[in-house]
Amino acid sequence: MFRKGSDSASSRRKKSVDFEVDSETLEHEIDTWVTSNRPKLGEVLLELGSIDPDDLLDALQHQNENPTGEGAARLGNILLKLGKIDEGHLAAALAHQFGIPFIDLTEETPQKDATQLVGEELARKHSVVPLRIDDEGRVYLAVADPLDTDAIEELTQRCKRIGIVMGARSQIERLLEDAYNVLDTATEHIRAFELTAADEISKGDDESFAVDENAPIVQVANRIITQAVRNRASDVHVEPGEKAVRVRYRVDGAMTEAITLPANMASALVSRFKVMSGLNIVERRRPQDGQFGVGVDGRPIDIRISTVPTIHGEKVVMRLLDKTKSLISLKGLGMHPQVEDEYLKIVTAPLGMLLCTGPTGSGKTTTLYATLAEINDPTRNVVTIEDPVEYQFEGITQMPISGTGTSFADGLRGILRQDPDIILVGEIRDEETARIAMQASLTGHFVLSSLHAVDSVAAVHRFTDMGLEPFLVASSLTGVVGQRLLRRICSNCKTEYTPTAREVTIVDEFVGHQPTEWVKGAGCNMCSNTGFRGRVGVYELLSVSDTIREMIVERASHHELRAVAIDEGMRTMQMQAFELVVNGITTVEDVVRSVYAPGVGESEESQLELPAGRRSLRRAKQSLRDAREREQAAEDNVDETAKAPIEMGETAGPAQGDASQGAGTTATEGKATVPTAPPPSGDGRIIKDSAASASRPGPVPRNGTAHGTGGVDGDEDQSEKDDAKVGS
Q: Domain containing 20 — which CATH number?
A: 3.30.300.160
Q: Is 74 part of any domain?
A: no
Q: Helical H runs in 568-613? A: 573-582, 588-594
The reply to whether 604 and 518 lie within a common domain is yes
Please provide the DSSP assignment of 679-722 as one string: PPSTTS-PPP-HHHHHHSPPP--TTS---SSS--TT-HHHHHHH
Q: Which of 151, 176, 201 is the last residue of a domain?
A: 176
- Helix then strand count (H, E) for the chain reads 29, 22
Q: What is the pTM of this model?
A: 0.65
* More reliable by pLDDT, 613 or 545: 545
Together in a domain, 196 and 114 = no
- Give the span between the Cα atoms of 221 and 228, in whole angstroms: 11
| CATH for 602 | 3.40.50.300
Task: Confirm whether 592 is domain-assigned.
Answer: yes
Which of 133-137, 207-211, 436-440, 579-583 comes out lowest in average pLDDT? 207-211
User: Tell me: the pLDDT tens digits for 308-322?
Assistant: 999 999 999 999 998
pLDDT of residue 392: 85
Would you say residue 77 lies in a domain? Answer: no
Same domain, residue pair 486 and 602: yes
Longest CA pairwise span in the chain (Å): 125
| Domain end position, chosen among 322, 341, 365 | 322
Residue pLDDT, tens place only, 477-535? 999 999 999 999 998 889 999 999 999 998 988 888 889 899 999 888 778 788 999 99
374, 423: one domain: yes
Report the residue count for the chain: 728
pLDDT score of 10: 39
* pLDDT one-digit tens code per residue, 152-199: 888 888 888 888 889 988 888 888 877 887 777 677 767 776 656 655
Closest-CA residue to 402 (of 275, 318, 291): 291
pLDDT at 714: 41
Provide the pLDDT for residue 725.
43
Compute CA distances 441 → 365, 407, 418, 445, 448, whole Å. Answer: 20, 19, 15, 5, 9
Tell whether the model's pLDDT for residue 276 goes beyond 90: yes
**Residue 692 CA: distances (Å) to CA of 622, 629, 638, 686, 696:** 16, 11, 18, 13, 6
| Residue 78: inside a domain | no
Residue 538's domain comprises 331-608
Q: What's the average model confidence in pLDDT over 627-651?
A: 60
**CA nearest to 123, candidates 106, 139, 101:** 139
Is 618's pLDDT higher than 50?
Answer: yes
pLDDT band at 705 (very low <50, low <70, confident <90, very high): very low
Could you tell me if 172 and 156 lie in one domain? yes
pLDDT confidence of 71, banded at 50, 70, 90? very low
Query: Which segments of 380-430 does DSSP mark as H helices, in order?
Result: 408-415
Structure confidence at residue 497 (pLDDT):
93
Q: Residue 55: what pLDDT?
A: 87
Return the percentage of the chain with pLDDT > 70, whole number. 73
Statement to judge: residues 532 and 467 lie in one domain: yes
Confidence of residue 22 (pLDDT cuts 50, 70, 90): low
The mean pLDDT of 420-446, rounded to a whole number, is: 94
pLDDT of residue 616: 47
Is residue 598 in a domain? yes
Tell which of 176, 206, 228 closes a domain. Answer: 176
Give tens-digit pLDDT for 548-591. 999 999 999 999 999 999 999 999 999 999 999 999 999 999 99
DSSP sequence for 434-488: HHHHHHHHTTT-EEEEEE--SSTTHHHHHHHHHT--HHHHHHHEEEEEEEEEEEE
| Share above pLDDT 90 across residues of the chain, in percent, rounded to a whole number | 40
pLDDT band at 708, cuts 50/70/90? very low
3-class state of residue 139 by DSSP: strand
Bond preceding residue 130 cis, omega within 30 of 0: no
77 has pLDDT over 60: yes
pLDDT of residue 171: 87
Within this chain, do residues 604 and 681 fall inside the same structural domain, yes or no? no
Q: Which of 3-17, 283-297, 310-324, 567-581 has the lowest mean pLDDT?
A: 3-17
So what's the pLDDT on residue 148? Answer: 85
Q: What is the pLDDT of residue 641?
A: 59
CATH number of the domain residue 239 falls in: 3.30.450.90
Residue 266 domain-assigned? yes
In this structure, are 298 and 397 located in the same domain?
no
Residue-wise pLDDT for 97-148, tens only, equals 888 889 888 878 888 888 888 888 888 888 899 999 988 888 899 998 888 8
Q: Pick the residue with more confidence: 6 or 503?
A: 503
Q: Are residues 343 and 293 in the same domain?
A: no
User: Is 566 a member of any domain?
Assistant: yes
| pLDDT for res 12 | 40
Which of 83-87, 204-208, 257-261, 629-633 has the highest average model confidence (pLDDT)?
257-261
Domains: count for the chain: 4
In the predicted model, is pLDDT for residue 5 greater than 70?
no
Mean pLDDT of 45-52: 89
CB 165 within 8 A of CB 131: yes
Question: Best-predicted range by mean pLDDT among 20-24, 463-467, 610-614?
Answer: 463-467
Q: What is the pLDDT of residue 63?
A: 80
Q: Supply the pLDDT for residue 195.
A: 59
Same domain (yes/no): 295, 337:
no
- The pLDDT assigned to 85 comes to 87
Whether 555 and 596 map to the same domain: the answer is yes
172 lies in the same domain as 195: no
Residue 660 lies in a domain: yes
